[in-house]
Structure 1
Amino acid sequence: MSRFAPDLAPADLAPVILAAPAWARIGITVRDPRLRARAAETLARSILDELDADAPARDANQLSLGL
């Protein structure tokens, strides 16, 4: 995980997981593999959506510095 998000801690992910839809959190524990896969996808999507929402938006008017 540190390769993709070096400043992300498990404590940062816990509230995101708890904010995911309840059916997805429960759905990852069911026996039906199709429902479990759909629930896992929904859970992953909600985590990624929340993490992307925290990323600062890039301003098109801001010039980049050539370092």
Structure 2
Amino acid sequence: MERLTPTLIAEAILQAPGWARIGITAPSPVMREDAAAELARAILDHAQTPATAPARDQIGLAL
């Protein structure tokens, strides 16, 4: 597992399900807890997933 950085955490939060990102602001304590648990899972999954390099046969596009 790579070291958690603010950038890594931000990327993981942005890739988390939308309901979880919105759910942490819900008035229901149960919904907030479920949403927080889902965000935590998303961050851990993102941190534990190895970064994949593009395939050698994939064409790079200029920006």
Instruction: State whether TM-score is above 0.5.
Output: yes
Shift >4 Å, 4+ stretches: none
The answer as to whether partners of 2:19 and 2:35 remain within 8 angstroms in 1 is: yes
Rg larger for: 1
Secondary structure of 1:18 counterpart: helix
Q: SS of the residue aligned with 1:30?
A: coil
Unpaired runs of 5+ residues, structure 2, are: 52-63
Query: 1:22 aligned to 2:18?
Result: yes
- Amino acid paired to 2:26: V
Identity among equivalent positions (%) equals 49
More contact order relative to length (CA 8 Å, sep ≥ 6): 2
Gaps of 5+ in 1: 56-67
Offset at 1:37?
0.3
Alignment of structure 1 residues 19-58 onto 2, 5 Å: 19-54=15-50
Q: How many residues align?
A: 51
TM-score (norm 2): 0.69
